[in-house]
């Protein structure tokens, strides 16, 4: 699927760019985050460690240090203070980088290859998370629905994936936050029956017309006619309505198209 390839390429680029970036100073460390700490001029004190459930990080010589709930800068200052107070390093310069932001997670659901909960990194975007979930399935629609954990369902944002990937939108790609829910609905379909070579259900493409629907269904049979084509459609109150359609008529999701047999 073309858009899957674009998603994977974009995600790999962004993930590669964001890894190894110094911790966002507004971000507070939490359980399962993986941090990389370096002390300038003292490679023996450098370490990579996972934050424990109680917020602790094991640091060389000092032992376990409680860093949970601190920002990256606050954690650096605390480690510098401990190194100075314990006379391990004089005037230490400590740098802390968050390699994995495992304490912040997002759910990715719907028509993706591997629905589930995924950890986010600094600057993770909607496309990153869809890529983490294995990309879109063949049945996926063209939009994603992003809901924040503290927002009501009617405040959810609908993101046009096609326009986003093709660069046809001025709206920046949304970054995800802890507790977000990303849902990719199933593709919209239409149905075509009667005198066409391949009747059945088909994917509804944007702006699709009756003429294009006939083409997707491999055209008319020898007995088919373009005259008197009917559409059966559900209107606002849920009641089905049938009406005659022209070849340039645009179709909608769940439309049922019926192609008549020619009388001659």
The pLDDT value given to residue 146: 92
The pLDDT value given to residue 27: 79
- Give φ, ψ of 160 to 5 degrees: -80, 105
The pLDDT value given to residue 53: 93
The pLDDT value given to residue 7: 47
The pLDDT value given to residue 193: 95
The pLDDT value given to residue 198: 95
Answer positive or negative: Cα dihedral of 186, 188, 192, 196.
negative
- What is the residue-level pLDDT of the chain in tens, covering all 264 positions? 444 544 444 444 334 434 444 445 667 899 999 999 999 999 999 999 999 999 999 999 999 999 999 999 999 999 999 999 999 999 999 999 988 888 888 999 999 999 999 988 767 889 889 999 999 998 898 889 999 888 777 788 888 888 887 777 777 788 888 889 999 999 999 999 999 999 999 988 888 999 999 999 999 999 999 988 999 998 877 788 999 999 999 999 889 999 998 876
Domains of the chain, start order: 2-16+103-184 (3.10.560.10), 28-100 (3.30.1950.10), 189-259 (3.10.560.10)
The pLDDT value given to residue 75: 95
For residue 9, count other CB atoms closer than 10 A to its CB.
13
């Amino acid at each position: 699927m073309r858009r899957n390839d674009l998603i994977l390429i974009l995600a790999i680029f962004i993930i590669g760019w964001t890894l190894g970036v110094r911790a966002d100073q507004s971000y507070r460390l939490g359980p399962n985050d993986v941090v990389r700490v370096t002390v300038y001029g003292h490679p023996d004190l450098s370490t990579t460690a996972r934050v424990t459930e109680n917020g602790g990080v094991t640091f060389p010589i000092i032992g376990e240090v409680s860093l949970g709930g601190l920002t990256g800068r606050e954690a650096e200052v605390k480690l510098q203070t401990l190194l100075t107070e314990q006379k391990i390093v004089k005037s230490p310069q400590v740098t802390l980088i968050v390699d994995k932001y495992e304490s912040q997670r997002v759910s990715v659901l719907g028509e993706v290859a591997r629905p589930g909960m995924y950890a986010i990194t600094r600057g993770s975007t909607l496309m990153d998370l869809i890529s983490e979930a294995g990309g879109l399935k063949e049945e996926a629609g063209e939009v994603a629905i992003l809901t924040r954990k503290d927002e009501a369902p009617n405040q959810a944002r609908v993101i046009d994936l096609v326009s986003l990937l093709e660069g046809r939108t001025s709206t920046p790609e949304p970054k995800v936050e802890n507790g977000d829910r990303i849902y990719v609905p199933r593709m919209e379909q239409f149905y075509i029956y009667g005198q066409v070579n391949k009747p059945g259900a088909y994917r509804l493409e944007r702006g699709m017309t009756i003429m294009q629907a006939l083409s997707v269904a491999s055209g008319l049979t020898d007995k088919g006619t373009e005259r008197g084509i009917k559409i059966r459609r559900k209107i606002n109150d849920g009641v089905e309505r049938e009406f005659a359609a022209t070849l340039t008529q645009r179709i909608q999701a769940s439309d049922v198209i019926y192609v008549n047999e020619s009388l001659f």
